Amino acid sequence: MAHRFASRSFSICAALALLFGAVPVAYAADLDTMAQTLSEMRRQVEQLSADLTLQKEDLRGRLRALDGEKAELQVQLRQQELRRSQLQQALDSEKEVRAELVAEGQALTPAVVESIAMVRSSVQGSMPFRLQERLDELDKLEGELKAETITPREAAQRLWSFSEDELRLSKENAIDRQVITLDGEEVLVDVARLGMVAMYYKTEAGQVGWAVRDGGAWVWQRTDETTEQQQILELFDALEKQIRVGFFELPGALVAGGVQ
């Protein structure tokens, strides 16, 4: 009986020992898990802290770059403002100068208009070499002067250049092409011009003639006379070969003698 009781007591004690011995083991396992969790959390925090530091540095770099760009843009803006100010000053100065020129030239305008009229009269009385084109140029010049798109001084300079061109025409012998009126029709022909003294024409069909004054207008006279035709064709041939010196007999010439 005593032996049986002792055996039962030993069994109970052993069971209690096993029960209470298992508690520290489970508790230790929990502590290990918590330690691992804390370690992982610490690692994550450190990683996040490192990432945040990198992002801060990147942000600081971007801010520095933006500050640099802002400073550069401010410099460019100041330069543009200075340039705009300089251009405005130059424009204002140009306007003042032009206004002064216009004011000074108002007294010159009548004289220039009168000079244009004199040159126009001279052109109208000259040989019919591109006559309408030359008159149109004078009309354009006078129109711009009266519309005040050019100053009287500029108009006078252009009129002088035009007069120099007219003088050059009077000194040269040349072949050109222009439209003339033959038998009531406009025809493109070759023209041989001897200064502003005489003009001869030649059509593609071989017809020849010269310009003659009929009252207040120029007309183109055709010749069917063999000798006159030959003389005109010889003149064209010489000018085409750039023979500038020689003696030519020409029909309808106002001046007899050598052509140079």
pLDDT at 220 over 60: yes
Query: Does 126 map to a domain?
Result: yes
Compare 11 and 113 and report the one with higher pLDDT.
113
Compare 244 and 124 and report the one with higher pLDDT.
124
Its sign, for the CA torsion 61, 63, 68, 72, is: positive
Which of the four pLDDT bands, split at 50, 70 and 90, describes residue 253? Answer: low
The rounded distance, in Å, linking the Cα atoms of 179 and 171 is 22
Q: Which of 6-15, 55-64, 166-175, 230-239 has the weakest average pLDDT?
A: 6-15
Domain count, the chain: 3
The rounded distance, in Å, linking the Cα atoms of 94 and 115 is 28
Across the range 200-206, mean pLDDT stands at: 94
Encode pLDDT of 73-96 as tens digits: 888 888 888 878 887 888 888 788
Q: Which of 79-88, 91-100, 199-208, 222-231 has the weakest average pLDDT?
A: 91-100
What percent of the chain has pLDDT above 90? 40
Give me the domain span that covers residue 86: 26-105
Which of the four pLDDT bands, split at 50, 70 and 90, describes residue 38? Answer: confident
Which residues on adjacent β-strands are paired with residue 180?
187
Query: Does 67 map to a domain?
Result: yes
Question: How many C-beta atoms surround the C-beta of residue 178 within 10 A?
Answer: 18
Which of the four pLDDT bands, split at 50, 70 and 90, describes residue 101? Answer: low
Q: Are residues 163 and 246 in the same domain?
A: no
Q: What's the whole-number average pLDDT of the chain?
A: 83
Q: Are residues 259 and 180 in the same domain?
A: yes
Helix (H) / strand (E) element for 108: namely: none
Q: Are residues 77 and 127 in the same domain?
A: no
Which of the four pLDDT bands, split at 50, 70 and 90, describes residue 34? Answer: confident
Q: Are residues 148 and 86 in the same domain?
A: no
pLDDT at 259 over 60: no
pLDDT at 28 over 70: no
Q: What is the pLDDT of residue 139?
A: 96
Query: Does 19 map to a domain?
Result: no
Q: What is the pLDDT of residue 216?
A: 78
Question: How many C-beta atoms surround the C-beta of residue 163 within 10 A?
Answer: 15
Instruction: Give the rounded distance of the alpha carbon of 137 from its chain centre.
Output: 26
Tokens of 81: 């403002």
Q: Are residues 127 and 44 in the same domain?
A: no
The rounded distance, in Å, linking the Cα atoms of 99 and 190 is 48
Q: Are residues 149 and 197 in the same domain?
A: no
Which of the four pLDDT bands, split at 50, 70 and 90, describes residue 130? Answer: very high
Tokens of 167: 């003088």
Query: Does 11 map to a domain?
Result: no
